[in-house]
């Protein structure tokens, strides 16, 4: 197996677009003794963000918040990190860049997994006339929402590099593609209007994109077996598919390993990031199996109804509180029996609204923020609706359920 065949096109300081790929929305504070690369610094900034921490309580596929052995969104991004870093190192690409994209790629995921994403999209289409998709929401979170303190305890936006931000919004792994190649133009990332519209701008982003598919296909099967979603007949059918290329396959770990090695063997700058036809067919066959026997399983229906009820009711009760010039007062009056919702949503607004509209009693002088005030003066109802969407999409499953339970218990 040839190694390091992508070394000449890796994103290093010799790359022709290095300056643009390492550029940030605004200047990040510096430390004279910092030994990290720009992408290693992005990795740690994401690692310390609240959005990353919340991934440990967000559904990946199976809603099972009290089962410590079921894959969460955080475990999934770590699997993607593992797969993509292995491939990047073997091919001679920048594994620090793949690691940063990997742990940040799902920061925009809503509570309750992909179904929560669909529920929120239904709300945004009705009220804002646009779709909600987690790749775009991920870019929004790292650009506009997430805050970290600088050296002087001032909260500021993350200001990640272009290459990492691009990898987040372009990572869509739902498409059945092979021979992934980076796009030529370093476009404005706000030009993305749908998931998968453009390929990533870097080879490293392409590696993360295919690694996302390998990681979720493999681990979802393991969870499905543990939870009894697959009977013996289904498991035997799956084992037969898995052994089509390797008679020694016994579990999903071996399937994932074989696909990783296959990518490393078959990928070249001329062919792109590629699986052989044999393993591509197997990946697509297993993915189809998952959609039929796992994602489409009727056991998900109660969960789907439950998730839609929770998200929709939280959205509706907050929407009723909008009052162009007196929204903070309306929130207090209408949410007096939902203290957790009142306190958390009020604090959310205070971070992102112009200070002149924030009531004095809500101003915490111990917290200094120098971030973009994306909701302005709340003088536009759409801004307020976007605030609700941002707030809900950032929730964990646990927190959304707690809010809902408080709403119905008086």
Domain ranges of the chain: 7-107+146-296, 299-409
pLDDT digits (tens, 9 = 90+) for 305-334: 999 999 999 999 999 999 988 999 999 999
- In whole angstroms, give the CA distance from residue 230 to residue 221: 9
pLDDT digits (tens, 9 = 90+) for 131-160: 999 999 999 999 999 999 988 889 999 999
pTM: 0.94
* Percent over 70 (pLDDT), the chain: 95
For the CA atoms of the chain, what is the radius of gyration?
22
pLDDT at 180 over 80: yes
pLDDT at 124 over 70: yes
Architecture of domain 7-107+146-296: Orthogonal Bundle (1.10)
């Amino acid at each position: 197996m040839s190694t390091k065949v992508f070394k000449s096109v890796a994103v290093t300081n010799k790359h022709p677009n290095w300056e643009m790929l390492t550029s940030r929305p605004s200047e990040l504070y510096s430390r004279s003794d910092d030994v990290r690369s720009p992408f290693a610094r992005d990795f740690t900034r994401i690692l310390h963000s609240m959005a990353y921490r919340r991934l440990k309580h967000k559904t990946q596929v199976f809603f099972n918040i009290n089962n410590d052995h079921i894959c969460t969104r955080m475990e999934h991004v770590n699997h993607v990190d593992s797969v993509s870093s292995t491939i990047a190192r073997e091919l001679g690409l920048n594994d620090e860049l793949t690691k940063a994209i990997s742990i940040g790629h799902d920061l925009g995921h809503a509570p309750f997994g992909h179904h929560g994403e669909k529920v929120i999209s239904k709300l945004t289409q009705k009220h804002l006339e646009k779709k909600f998709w987690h790749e775009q929401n991920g870019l929004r979170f790292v650009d506009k929402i997430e805050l970290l303190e600088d050296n002087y305890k001032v909260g500021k936006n993350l200001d990640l590099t272009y290459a990492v931000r691009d990898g987040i919004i372009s990572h869509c792994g739902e498409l059945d593609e092979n021979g992934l190649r980076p796009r030529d133009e370093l476009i404005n990332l706000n030009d993305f209007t749908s998931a998968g519209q453009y390929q990533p701008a870097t080879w490293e982003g392409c590696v993360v994109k295919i690694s996302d598919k390998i990681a979720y296909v493999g681990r979802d099967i393991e969870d499905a077996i543990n939870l009894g979603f697959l009977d013996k007949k289904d498991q035997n059918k799956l084992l037969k598919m898995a052994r089509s290329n390797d008679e020694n396959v016994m579990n999903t770990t071996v399937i994932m390993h074989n696909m990783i090695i296959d990518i490393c063997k078959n990928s070249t700058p001329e062919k792109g990031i590629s699986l052989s036809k044999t393993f591509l067919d197997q990946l697509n066959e297993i993915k189809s199996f998952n959609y039929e026997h796992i994602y489409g399983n009727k056991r998900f229906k109660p969960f789907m109804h439950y998730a839609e009820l929770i998200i929709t009711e939280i959205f509706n009760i907050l929407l009723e509180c909008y009052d162009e010039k007196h929204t903070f007062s309306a929130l207090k009056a209408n949410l007096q029996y939902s203290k957790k919702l009142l306190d958390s949503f009020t604090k959310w607004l205070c971070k992102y609204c112009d200070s002149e509209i924030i009531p004095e009693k809500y101003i915490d002088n111990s917290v200094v923020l120098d971030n973009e005030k994306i909701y302005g003066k709340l003088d536009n109802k759409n801004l307020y609706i976007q605030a609700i969407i941002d707030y809900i999409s950032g929730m964990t499953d646990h927190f959304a359920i707690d809010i809902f339970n408080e709403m119905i218990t008086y």
